[in-house]
Structures are given as structure tokens and as C-alpha cells.
């Protein structure tokens, strides 16, 4: 057997380069690049292997381990899982900084490959710098923290183990049923150790995303339910995008006269002007979609986890006879709430279901009802264009202006705080696949980091990153990354003086304003951060806009700029888009506040509408 002698670190890099895929007819590497922050746990070995291959596997210098891994997540989201980014850190805090990003990838079913340095397998020099010692188990290190938040986890204790483990990790990341993050702990001595690897291990291999087909019996059951439906509804989830099933979903809905509502991850499958489009559903949803859901007798849920924000904590399906059919590559998701499961790729399953239901179409009045409700919702969104002078603008006013003037192929990105709800409800998608709100894990700090990764993935159109002041202060260093790397982003920095949406939740559930708005926190000196100066200090261009009517000119300047550009706007902390559905949160059973007792009574009343496993 022909072999080549390499260190573990060198062999990992050589194998990464050999993994290929086809995107838009062009053969490219599965792994598009590496985000790296080097320390003693990865700089002398893994970095030594990465340095010579920058033309084929570029390494981008990160500024925070969490944010660089979040950039990798956003890249894979924008690429719909077809290509994967890598993030590598040293041991200790550099490693555990990536745990949050791993959790975000896991919750969103997104592939990302994480390499962390680790302590020495020989243990002679324990405890090493940054080692966390477990008194009862010396095999446990900080790297074990990734086990609950990754789909694949391994610690390489012998060089030859990568021959088996790396291909298995890639298979997990590329399988639609198991897709998610993979993690490798690389002990420092093992990274440096050499082995005679078989040369066949490094031969180029072309990978593709499989399309598992449905069991015909599942299709038959689903078809029988759907053909009996008087008021069917489709929930378009993120899996529709990842399956490239938008065209099939659209044709199916048009042919059958079925309204389509969207989840956060499924947004922008249908453009907002499509006649079957019924709006976003759930807690961050429209009155239109929630009205359709309230009456629906059969719900066809495609590629969605049916998270509580989608289902209004399982309260939006108020028809007692409502049945749910779930199409999903993951059996776990397909079997939720005693649904009729179709475990399959969305594209293949939609085609099979379409063939099975013959000439079925929903009654004409049902789609007309949906269209009348979404028209009312659009009228409501239009009303936000009537700006109230003399006060700080609301989120919705700013969003409607930018939405109106942005280009069709611009990519809207957000994550946490009040903006996801405002954007999911208020952003009207002009093109397919043009929206990313990281709400599977709702990760504060994803916004700016994610915008960097998304811009790497997308060639056309601007990435418009929406971030609140809270998320900005939590993680902002990748403003500098976008400038340094030449990946221009337009940042909309909306400052409402703290965590205003949580303040809203606090007050709406009967609590006193406390520790969310900056002026309600304990402090010796309170002042507004000058975001313009801060952003300019990182090399981007920035300006503050005081009036909504000045936004179009500012956005035009951002469009024309030669590098990242930020528009800072003060936002009213008490004015919100109204809509959505009930959301269950814990409200105290006992409280001295009358407002809390009222909120508890409301909670108990709403829980009567919850669907419980039927």
C-alpha cells in the first residue's frame, strides 16, 4: 500500500482539500475556508499545515472565537448547506468561546466544522496552560463541553484515527437527516505526531446532498388526509430552502389553491406578492397567517421543526379537528405532535404527494379568504409609512423605508432582540432566499459576524445587517473584519436604549421595568454610546440619521460606498408592530403585584387552546 508520512495536522489539511462538491455546475471544495484564531493549542501544528495552502483553502483571521464560528454558520446558511466553513481555536477559553456557535448551528441544523486544540494525551506536563482539571476524571477537558451541542464529536488520540473519523463527520454534516456541527479535539502532541497515511485517503472525492424518498405508505396516508381537507394550509420551513424545493412548493400550492405561510427559517420561499402567500405564522407572525392557521383543518408542515414561535406555543391551530402532516428528512421532526409523518426530502416528497392526490384542489373560497387577510396585513404594514413627526421612529417605520428602496437581490440578516420579530412580520421579501434571521437559537452577536459570513457566500446584492444596540455591544469586532477582508456589509444599527423587547415582555407579563432598558439598570453614569465613532474607529463609514425621511439618501450613500457602511438610528423603545400569537413564558403563580396576577390568569386562559399531542 502506497503511503505518505505526515503529521496529524498536515494530514487533516490535505484531506480537507480533497473533498469536492458541485455547486451551480462547478466543481468546488466542500470546505470553502477556515476562520482561525491561533494559540498554543493550534498554531504550531494545524496552522503549520494551513499556511501553505492559502490559495485553495484560505484562512481568515477572526477576532473572537464565537463570532468567527458564527460567521461560519451564516456562510453555510447562505449556501444552504452545500459548502462548509471551518473554525479553529486554541484550548481553554478560545475553545469554549465556540460552544455558543456550535449550539446555534445545532439548533438550526447547520453544518460547520470545528477544530479545537486540546491538552496532551501523554499528560506528563499536566496541567498545561488553560487546562481545566477534573479531579475525578483526567480524561475530561474543556473540549467535552461541545458534546451536547454537536452532531459529531471526537477526540483524536492517535493520528490514524482521522482516516475513519473525518469521513464520518463529513457524512453527518452533509446528510439532511443529521446535518449539524462536527467537532474535533486535537491534543497538542497528537497534532504533531507523524504517521504513514495511505495515499488513497487523500484522493479527491466528489460529494453531494442526498434526497431520501418517502415511504409510499406515508404518502398514501398524507394524501388521504389532504384530499379530504376543506381548509388546507402549508407551512414553509427552512427545509424548503435547503432542499431547493421552492419551485416544487410554489407549483404545488398554485395547482391546489392552498395558502402558504412561512416560518422564520422558511421566509422568502414565496415573494410577498405571490397570490398563495399568506404571511409569517406564529408569535412573530402576521394576523393573516394566524387567522388561516386558526381555521385550517389540515396543515402540511414542510421542513420545519415546529418550534414554539411557529406554533404560538401550540395554540394557533384552534380547529379541534385539525390534522398535521409533516414532511422532514429528520424522523425526530416528522413525528412531533403525533403528526402523520413523511420522512423524506422536501423536493421528492412534494412531487410524490402531488402525484398521489390526483386533481384535488381546495375550495375556491379558502384561498380567497387567505388573500383578503394578507391584503389587510399589507395595508397595515403600509400604514407605517405615515411617519409620526416629533418622536423617535419605530422599528417598523425604518424597516418599511429600507424594504421599499432596497434591491431585489439584497439579503436581509438579523438574529436576536426585537428586530427578528419586526423583520419577520414587516420585511416583504422581493426575491427567493433573500432572508436570514437566526432564530433557532436566537443568538445575540450573530448579526455582525453572520453578515460577514453571508457576504462571503453571496456574490450578488448587498447584505443588509440589522442589529440592535444590545447585540452590537455584545459582539461587534467583525465590523473590522468586513473592512479588512473586503466583504462590504450595510449595517443598520437600531438603538432603543437597551434590551427593549425583553423590557416589553417583562412589562406585558406584569413585571416592573427592571435591568433591561439602560436607564432602568444600576449605574453611576448613564450615557448613549456613540456608535458612529465606534464604527468609524474600525474602518467602516458611518452616519447617524435623525429622521425617517433622511433614510433614503443615507441608504443610497451606503449603496455607493466602497466598504462597509453603517446607518445608526435611534428607535422608540415602546412602539412595536402588532400581530403575532400567544407565547407561553413562565409567569409567577404568586406575586405581590396585581399586574403579575392578571398576567398569570391570562396565561392559564390561553393554555386551554394548546394542542397537546393530538
pLDDT digits (tens, 9 = 90+) for 405-442: 999 999 999 999 999 999 999 999 999 999 999 999 99
Residue-level pLDDT at 613: 66
C-alpha cell at 170: 463529513
Rg (C-alpha) for the chain, rounded Å, is 25
Q: Are 232 and 362 in contact (CB under 8 A)?
A: yes
Give the three cell numbers for residue 63: 477576532
Q: What contacts 115, CB < 8 A, 6 or more positions away?
A: 12, 42, 46, 86, 87, 88, 89, 183, 184, 186
- CA quadruple 182, 186, 192, 197: dihedral positive or negative? negative
Element at 49 (helix H, strand E): helix 46-50
Please answer whether residues 279 and 377 qualify as being in contact, where contact means their C-beta atoms are separated by less than 8 angstroms.
yes
- What's the pLDDT tens digit per position in 137-152? 999 999 999 999 999 9
Are 499 and 516 within 8 A, CB to CB?
yes
Q: What is the pLDDT of residue 38?
A: 96
Angstrom distance (rounded) from CA 375 to CA 353: 29
Domains of the chain: residue spans and CATH:
3-207 (3.40.50.970), 216-376 (3.40.50.1220), 384-570 (3.40.50.970)
Task: Collect the ranges in the chain with pLDDT lower than 70.
Answer: 613-614
Burial class (CB in 10 A: 0-12, 13-18, 19+), 597: middle
Q: Tell how many helices (H) and how many strands (E) occur in the chain.
A: 24, 23
- CA 576, CA 589: separation in Å to the nearest integer? 28
Cα separation of 264 and 412, whole Å? 12
CA 424/CA 279 separation, integer angstroms:
9
Look at residue 520 in the predicted model and tell me its pLDDT: 87
Alpha-carbon span 522 to 391, nearest angstrom: 26
pLDDT digits (tens, 9 = 90+) for 192-229: 999 999 999 999 999 999 999 999 999 999 999 999 99
Give 427-464 as a DSSP string.
Answer: ----STT-EEE--SS--TTHHHHHHHHHHHH--SS-EE
The C-alpha cell at 553 is 439618501
- pLDDT for 614: 58
Amino acid at each position: 500500500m502506497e503511503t505518505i508520512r505526515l503529521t496529524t495536522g498536515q494530514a487533516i489539511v490535505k484531506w480537507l482539500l480533497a473533498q469536492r462538491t458541485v455547486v451551480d455546475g462547478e466543481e468546488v471544495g466542500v470546505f470553502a475556508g477556515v476562520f482561525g484564531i491561533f494559540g498554543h493549542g493550534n498554531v504550531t501544528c494545524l496552522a503549520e499545515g494551513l499556511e501553505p495552502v492559502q490559495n485553495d483553502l484560505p484562512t481568515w483571521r477572526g477576532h473572537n472565537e464565537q463570532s468567527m464560528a458564527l460567521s461560519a454558520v451564516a456562510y453555510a446558511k447562505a449556501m444552504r448547506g452545500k459548502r462548509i466553513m471551518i473554525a479553529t481555536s486554541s484550548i481553554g477559553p478560545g475553545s469554549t468561546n465556540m460552544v455558543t456557535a456550535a449550539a446555534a448551528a445545532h439548533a438550526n441544523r447547520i453544518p460547520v466544522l470545528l477544530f479545537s486544540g486540546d491538552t496532551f494525551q501523554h499528560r506528563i506536563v499536566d496541567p498545561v496552560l488553560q487546562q481545566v482539571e477534573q479531579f475525578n476524571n483526567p480524561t475530561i477537558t474543556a473540549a467535552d463541553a461541545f458534546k451536547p451541542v454537536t452532531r459529531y464529536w471526537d477526540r483524536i488520540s492517535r493520528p490514524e484515527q482521522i482516516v475513519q473519523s473525518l469521513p464520518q463527520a463529513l457524512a453527518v454534516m452533509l446528510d439532511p437527516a443529521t446535518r449539524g456541527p462536527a467537532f474535533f479535539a486535537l491534543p497538542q502532541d497528537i497534532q504533531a505526531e507523524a504517521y504513514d497515511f495511505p495515499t488513497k485517503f487523500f484522493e479527491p472525492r466528489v460529494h453531494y446532498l442526498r434526497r431520501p424518498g418517502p415511504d409510499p405508505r406515508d404518502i398514501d396516508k398524507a394524501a388521504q388526509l389532504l384530499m379530504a381537507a376543506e381548509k388546507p394550509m402549508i407551512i414553509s420551513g427552512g427545509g424548503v430552502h435547503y432542499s431547493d424545493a421552492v419551485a416544487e412548493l410554489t407549483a404545488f400550492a398554485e395547482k391546489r389553491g392552498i395558502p402558504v405561510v412561512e416560518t422564520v427559517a422558511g421566509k422568502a420561499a414565496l415573494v410577498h406578492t405571490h397570490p398563495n402567500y399568506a404571511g409569517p405564522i406564529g408569535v412573530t407572525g402576521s394576523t393573516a397567517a394566524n387567522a388561516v392557521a386558526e381555521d385550517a383543518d389540515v396543515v402540511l408542515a414542510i421542513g420545519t421543526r415546529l418550534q414554539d414561535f411557529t406554533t404560538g406555543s401550540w395554540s394557533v391551530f384552534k380547529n379541534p379537528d385539525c390534522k398535521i402532516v409533516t414532511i422532514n428528512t429528520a424522523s425526530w421532526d416528522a413525528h412531533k405532535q403525533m403528526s402523520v409523518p413523511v420522512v423524506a426530502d422536501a423536493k421528492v416528497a412534494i412531487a410524490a404527494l402531488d402525484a398521489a392526490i390526483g386533481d384535488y384542489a381546495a375550495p375556491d373560497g379558502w384561498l380567497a379568504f387567505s388573500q383578503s387577510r394578507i391584503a389587510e396585513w399589507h395595508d397595515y404594514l403600509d400604514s407605517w409609512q405615515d411617519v409620526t413627526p416629533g418622536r423617535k421612529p419605530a422599528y417598523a417605520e425604518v424597516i418599511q423605508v429600507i424594504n421599499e428602496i432596497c434591491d431585489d437581490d439584497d439579503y436581509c440578516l438579523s438574529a436576536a432582540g426585537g428586530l427578528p420579530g419586526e423583520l419577520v412580520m414587516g420585511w416583504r421579501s422581493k426575491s427567493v432566499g433573500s432572508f436570514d434571521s437566526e432564530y433557532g437559537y436566537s443568538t445575540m452577536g450573530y448579526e455582525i459576524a453572520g453578515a460577514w459570513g453571508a457576504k462571503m457566500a453571496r456574490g450578488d446584492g448587498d447584505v443588509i445587517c440589522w442589529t440592535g444596540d444590545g447585540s452590537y455591544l455584545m459582539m461587534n469586532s467583525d465590523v473590522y473584519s468586513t473592512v479588512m477582508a473586503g466583504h462590504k456589509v450595510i449595517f443598520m444599527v437600531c438603538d432603543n436604549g437597551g434590551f427593549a423587547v425583553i423590557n416589553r415582555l417583562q412589562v406585558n407579563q406584569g413585571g416592573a421595568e427592571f435591568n433591561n432598558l439602560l436607564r432602568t439598570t444600576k449605574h453611576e453614569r448613564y450615557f448613549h454610546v456613540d456608535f458612529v465613532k465606534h464604527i468609524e474607529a474600525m474602518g467602516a463609514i458611518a452616519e447617524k440619521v435623525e429622521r425617517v425621511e433622511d433614510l433614503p439618501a443615507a441608504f443610497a450613500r451606503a449603496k455607493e460606498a466602497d466598504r462597509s457602511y453603517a446607518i445608526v438610528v435611534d428607535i422608540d423603545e415602546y412602539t412595536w408592530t402588532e400581530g403575532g400569537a400567544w407565547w407561553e413564558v413562565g409567569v409567577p403563580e404568586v406575586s405581590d403585584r396585581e399586574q403579575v396576577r392578571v398576567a398569570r390568569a391570562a396565561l392559564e386562559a390561553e393554555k386551554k387552546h394548546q394542542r397537546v399531542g393530538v
